[in-house]
Structures are given as C-alpha cells and as structure tokens.
C-alpha cells in the first residue's frame, strides 16, 4: 500500500489554454503599467498629485475587478470543458 500523502492536484489546462492565460496575464500587466505611466505623466505635466492619485486608484481597482472576472470565467470554462470530455 502507498501511505504517502497525496497532494490535492488540479488537472493542467491544455497548451492552448495555457497560451491564452499567459497572453491575458501579460495584457493585465501592460494595463497596470500604463496606469502608472499615465499617472506619472499627469503629475509631470503639472496636475496636482492629490488629483491624480484617486484616478489611478480607481483604475487599479477596476483592473483588479476585471482580472477576477476573467479568472472566474476561465475556471468555469475549464470545469465545463472537463465535464464534456
């Protein structure tokens, strides 16, 4: 008998899904970078920092919510695709 404790293992998504996940992750990183760059440019152009920061925070929160929604959709799609196999 094998008494070794087995780790909870989730099946790996197929290669196509892995590529899409990486592309989506890179897109979110690019969006976050653009938020920071845009905020810095706004400050450098003379806008008050206290006016720029709330906008950056709002954009960051929106990006986080989008990321969570995409993760949820991908998990649902993965579950559905596994149940049809």
The pLDDT tens digits of the residues spanning 21-73 come to: 888 899 999 999 999 999 999 999 999 999 999 999 999 999 999 999 988 98
Q: What is the pLDDT of residue 44?
A: 97
Q: What is the pLDDT of residue 7?
A: 54
User: Which pLDDT band, with edges at 50, 70 and 90, does 85 fall under?
Assistant: low
Report which of 73, 84, 82, 79 is spatially closest to residue 20, judged by C-alpha positions.
73
Q: What is the pLDDT of residue 3?
A: 53
Q: Is 84 exposed, middle or buried (0-12, 13-18, 19+ CB in 10 A)?
A: exposed
């Amino acid at each position: 008998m094998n008494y070794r404790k087995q780790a909870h293992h989730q099946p790996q998504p197929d290669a196509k899904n892995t590529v899409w996940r990486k592309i989506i992750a890179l897109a979110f990183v690019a969006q976050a970078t653009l938020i920071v760059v845009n905020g810095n440019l706004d400050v450098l152009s003379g806008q008050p920092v206290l006016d720029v920061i709330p906008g950056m925070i709002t954009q960051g929160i929106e990006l986080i919510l989008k990321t969570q929604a995409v993760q949820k959709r991908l998990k649902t799609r993965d579950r559905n695709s596994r149940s049809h196999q």
